[in-house]
Amino acid sequence: MGKHILLITQYFYPETFRVNDMACEWVKRGYKVTVLTGIPNYPMGKYFDGYDKKHRTREEWNGVNIIRIPLVARGNSSNKLINAAGMAANYFSFVRSGKKWIKSKEAANLNADIVFTFEVSPMTQAMIGVWYGKRYNVPTYLYVQDLWPENVETVTGIHSKLIIGPIDRMVDKIYRETGTIFTTSPSFVKAIINRKVPVENNKVHYWPQYAEDFYRPMSSVAVDSIDEMDNSYKIAFTGNIGTAQGLDVLPKAAKMLKDENVKFIIVGDGRYQPDFEKQIDELGVRNKFVMVPRVPAERVPAILSNVDAGFISFNKTALWENTIPAKLQSYMACGKAIIASASGETERVITEAECGICCKIGDGNALADGIRVMMKADCVEMGRRARLYFEENFDKKKLMDEMDVFFESA
């Protein structure tokens, strides 16, 4: 048996995050993997069926040992203040439970060789990894997917020093006391090492996300949600329907494309979905959209096999522009041309790969014009280039081999 990894992540199976695949891959590579996580409740804000503070708190899944510690479910309210309060309770309850668990006999007897924290918001969860590493003298690794406090300011609109100041100091402490830091984009590396309290260059590394092996080019496969006889130009968006995704640009573009044979296939759900569908109806473009409920990630490639291009968008903020969204790798792995209402890192990758177009963020007219261009383009060739770029830059085996080298030196 190889080294024992304690993987700390607030979200884990049956919640759908890429960390699930990373854990399984480590098991295949001979590591022993123990996951410290919460009670699954993302994205809809309530505990999944069969899970609560008393049931299924210890599980084994695909060779991964799972320890679930209590947390408050996020909740899902139309009231923004209630939502914010629920999210804060969710974040801090996980940290509180983690701090208590670290002092337990279970933690003391775990004998982990490595602590690896997978950080999508909240950054607070990384404190658990820092505390465990210090208490048991174990090397610590942190994979940063969401920058804090930038993420808090962007998502909540809060800029008060009374709130952001303590968060900033917490992040400084995490970066200072973590041995090795990985990030998902080159821009994140720069942002971390250039903080007001600088972080040493040699401890921060660009390690992009990969796509799971089931994301691959497929011949067109019949799926229930898409009419095979519909010969429209189809554009798919897959994933969380949240405010950060900036999907309000789609109904605007759809209105401009009322005379073109275009369909938008929206696969997923999320907090913003009711508002998104309301906008679709208000603009009278319901006939341009096919809404597909969230599906297991393994089914996404079959859906993508029926469309001409994948769609990516986000709101215009420095944070999102510095981010490489995970769905970019997924689309590229499936060999799809990409249409984006984006800039920054996303535009850089699409431009380097020559696999699609990027339009001005939030501009429905520009997106409609871009789609008209793509309808006349060779999307199959763009998809081929997307897959080639993926294999050269985001290949799972290459990236996990790189991670092995870091672990070997621990």
CATH code for the domain in which residue 256 is found: 3.40.50.2000
pLDDT tens digits along 172-211: 999 999 999 999 999 999 999 999 999 999 999 999 999 9
240 in a domain, yes or no? yes
223 in a domain, yes or no? no
pLDDT band for position 128 (cuts 50, 70, 90): very high
Asked if 310 and 387 sit in the same domain, the reply is: yes
In this predicted structure, what is the pLDDT of residue 73?
A: 93
Q: Give me the residues paired with residue 266 across strands.
A: 237, 291
100 in a domain, yes or no? yes
Q: Read off the pTM.
A: 0.87
226 in a domain, yes or no? no
> What DSSP assignment string belongs to 247-301?
TTHHHHHHHHTTTS-EEEEEE---TTHHHHHHHHHHTT-GGGEEEE----GGGHH
Cis upstream peptide for 70 (omega within 30°): no
3-state helix, strand, coil in the chain (%, to 5): 45, 15, 40
Entry field: residues in the chain = 410
Asked if 242 and 134 sit in the same domain, the reply is: no
Q: Could you give the number of structural domains in the chain? A: 2
d(CA 231, CA 229): 6
With both helix axes pointing from N to C terminus, report the angle between 344-353 and 186-193 in degrees, rounded to the nearest 10.
140
pLDDT tens digits along 64-114: 999 999 999 988 877 778 888 888 899 999 999 999 999 999 999 999 999
217 in a domain, yes or no? no
Burial of residue 81, with CB atoms counted within 10 A of its CB: 0-12 exposed, 13-18 middle, 19 or more buried: exposed
pLDDT tens digits along 359-387: 999 999 999 999 999 999 999 999 999 99
d(CA 172, CA 324): 23
d(CA 266, CA 260): 18
221 in a domain, yes or no? no
pLDDT at 342 over 80: yes
* CB of 263 closer than 8 Å to CB of 290: yes
| Torsion angle (degrees, nearest 10) of CA 257, 242, 374, 388 | -170
pLDDT at 390 over 90: yes
In this predicted structure, what is the pLDDT of residue 1?
A: 63
- Domain span at residue 238 reads 233-393
pLDDT band for position 63 (cuts 50, 70, 90): very high
pLDDT tens digits along 138-178: 999 999 999 999 988 887 888 899 999 999 999 999 999 99
Q: Can you point out the beta strands (E) in 157-269?
A: 180-183, 204-206, 233-238, 262-267
Asked if 84 and 18 sit in the same domain, the reply is: yes
Asked if 92 and 162 sit in the same domain, the reply is: yes
Q: Which helix (H) or strand (E) holds 372?
A: helix 364-376
Asked if 16 and 28 sit in the same domain, the reply is: yes
Asked if 167 and 315 sit in the same domain, the reply is: no
HSE (CB half, 13 Å, CA atoms) of 52? 3
Asked if 206 and 269 sit in the same domain, the reply is: no
